[in-house]
């Protein structure tokens, strides 16, 4: 397990820590949670398209019937 001592500091009213390069997370968002006395920081997992579609609620609106007409000719 990779381990390194870091310093805590104040950033306004927040306590902060600089994340050393070897611990950098991908992206710009992360999830932080407290597990007993430990802080756990994890990168936000990006949803794939199928996961995103599974998370959406079904549409309950009724859509009007649309007349299925052939396309109009286009002159070039």
Which residue segment(s) compose the domain that 49 sits in? 8-55
Residue 74 domain flag: no
Residue 71 domain flag: no
Q: Per the confidence metrics, is the pTM higher than 0.75? A: no
Q: What is the mean pLDDT of residues 44-56?
A: 88
Structure-token match 């109009």, residue found: 72
State yes or no: pLDDT of 38 exceeds 90. Answer: yes
What domain count does the chain have? 1
Q: What is the mean pLDDT of residues 26-55?
A: 91
State yes or no: pLDDT of 1 exceeds 90. Answer: no
State yes or no: pLDDT of 45 exceeds 90. Answer: no
């Amino acid at each position: 397990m990779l381990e390194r001592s870091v310093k805590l500091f104040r950033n306004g009213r927040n306590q902060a820590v600089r994340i050393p390069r070897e611990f950098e997370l991908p992206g710009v968002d992360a999830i932080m949670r407290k597990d007993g006395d430990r802080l756990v920081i994890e990168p936000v997992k990006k949803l794939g398209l199928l996961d995103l579609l599974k998370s959406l609620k079904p549409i309950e609106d009724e859509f009007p019937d649309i007349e299925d007409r052939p396309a109009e000719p286009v002159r070039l």
